[in-house]
Amino acid sequence: MALLPILHYPDPRLHTVAKPVAEVTPELRQLAADMAETMYAAPGIGLAATQVDRHIRLLVIDISEEKNRLHTFINPRILLKEGEIVHEEGCLSVPGIYDKVTRAEHIRVQATDLAGETFELEANGLMAICIQHEIDHLNGKVFVEYLSRLKQTRIKSKLSKQAREAM
Ligand code: NI
């Protein structure tokens, strides 16, 4: 197990579109385990492979209080979106920034699990939000891109400044 470094916005690598996973290998299972460990340590409720600079369609999510409900999604695909929900989102790649984003309230998602089996899941509320947020990462999109240009510019300069000061 290993903690993986998380890319921070506005790192251009966060805009990479991830490629489908062709096969569930021991290496992929190891990456998923390392991503889960990294997510729990951060702490966060979701992490996409894109955020650890691995550009394949893999994400881990655990929204439970007890941190004992880990979901791993390989090649996730949203089959259905219904309703609307506004929620204040944050992101491990955009530390310290929280803002409201509108997403579908209810979704049905299809994905492959770590055993290589296809499954479908119905999700509502926070779970639905989290899945949509993480799939956006796989498509090279960070949640701040839903905000106004002005806010995006402010966030970029704030995080760039923090990164320079941390060097
Ligand atoms: Ni995120």
pLDDT in tens, 70-116: 999 999 999 999 999 999 999 999 999 999 999 999 999 999 999 99
**HSE-up of residue 43 (Cα within 13 Å, Cβ side):** 7
Q: Is the pTM of this model over 0.85?
A: yes
CB distance 128 to 105 below 8 Å: yes
| Residue of 83, 79, 73 whose CA lies nearest to 130 | 73
For residue 165, indicate whether it is catalytic: no
Between the CA of 119 and the centroid of ligand 1 the distance, in Å, is 23
Using CB atoms within 10 Å of the CB of residue 53, give its burial: 0 to 12 exposed, 13 to 18 middle, 19+ buried. Answer: middle
User: Any idea which architecture 12-166 has in CATH?
Assistant: Alpha-Beta Complex (3.90)
Between the CA of 77 and the centroid of ligand 1 the distance, in Å, is 17
Kindly name the residue from 82, 134, 145, 165 that is annotated as catalytic.
134
| Residue of 107, 112, 111, 119 whose CA lies nearest to 80 | 107
pLDDT tens track for 106-146: 999 999 999 999 999 999 999 999 999 999 999 999 999 99
| Residue of 104, 28, 106, 43 whose CA lies nearest to 73 | 28
Between the CA of 2 and the centroid of ligand 1 the distance, in Å, is 20
